[in-house]
Amino acid sequence: MSIFRLVSLLLCSLCASCSKEFGQECQFGLPLDSKTNAESGLNSLSPYEVQMVKEALCKEKKLRAALSTSRPSILVSVQKLSKRKNASTANLPVNQFTGDVRFGERPTVRVTHQDIRWHHPFYSWPLAAYADMALLDPHHLNATNYGWKQVGKETFRNTPCIVYELTPFRVTGSWQFAGSVWVSSKDHLIVQFQGRYHPIRRNNPLHLREDFYYCFESTRKEIRPGVWVPDEIEMELPVNESDFVQPAFQAKAVFSWDANF
């Protein structure tokens, strides 16, 4: 048997083992085990960290597949912020929306109840964006499109984690994430991420500039051993970044999951 044939069989065996363990194929675009991916996005990591990131990517894909058939409920609160210095938020109006989320290629939120206490003439927050912020980049998350760099170790909800900084290598035809990701040291699962999405260039007659999604924090909770699902999302458009088109506000979304998920 030739050396080339032997190497090919070994690689096939490794790929089959990974697919069996995680229940999903572990490729996002180019195969994660390819030399190109390892050199482009994971070259600053140790061999152990490279394997951790690969497993985290595999499990994130498996989570997305599971979410595509689930219908969690969601409660979204959007509070107006005052431009007055040191103003208290206690008496500021809050809009509330309840509904259910449908994850998929284009996530949607079906509103079942809403309580509107404040309006803005030029702006409305699309509730489906909260479904976007519950998951990392669903289309381009791999080691080819992103650089992974370890920046520290922290504990999140009593779970030891390694914190990575993600940097998108290129701007694709839709948004990409830039920020920090917490990966559990034991199960190699993404349990929290904080940053913002970079969308494509926007040419709005009222707002001519390349815009960004707002900064947000997306946390997850463990509903049973080894299973983490989206829990809460918090974001804010501070007063110093607001204008007559985009009002200053802070928002929070809370997901509720069926016991059978």
Render pLDDT for 152-179 as a digit per residue (tens, 0 to 9): 999 999 999 999 999 888 655 567 889 9
- pLDDT value at position 170? 67
The residue among 131 and 151 whose pLDDT is bigger is 151
CA distances from 69 to 19, 66, 104, 105, 107 (A): 20, 6, 8, 12, 12
Least-confidence region, from 18-27, 53-62, 225-234? 18-27
pLDDT at 37 over 50: no
- pLDDT value at position 210? 45
- pLDDT value at position 204? 52
Bridge partners, 78 (sequence order): 95, 251
Q: What is the CA radius of gyration of the chain?
A: 20
- pLDDT value at position 213? 64
* Cα 2 from chain centre: 44
Helix (H) or strand (E) holding 3: helix 3-22
Percent of the chain with pLDDT over 70: 75
Region label for 29, one of left (φ > 0), alpha (ψ between -120 and 50) or beta (otherwise): left
- pLDDT value at position 171? 58
pLDDT at 207 over 90: no
Which of 7-21, 45-59, 87-101, 130-144 ranks highest by mean pLDDT?
Answer: 45-59
Average pLDDT of the residues in 104-129:
87
CA distances from 171 to 85, 176, 177, 192, 212 (A): 37, 7, 10, 23, 12
Segments of the chain assigned E as strands: 73-80, 94-102, 108-115, 146-156, 159-168, 176-184, 190-198, 203-204, 207-208, 216-224, 227-237, 249-256
- Spatial CA neighbour of 152 closest among 162, 165, 137: 162
- pLDDT value at position 168? 86
- pLDDT value at position 145? 83
Q: Are 190 and 136 in contact (CB under 8 A)?
A: yes
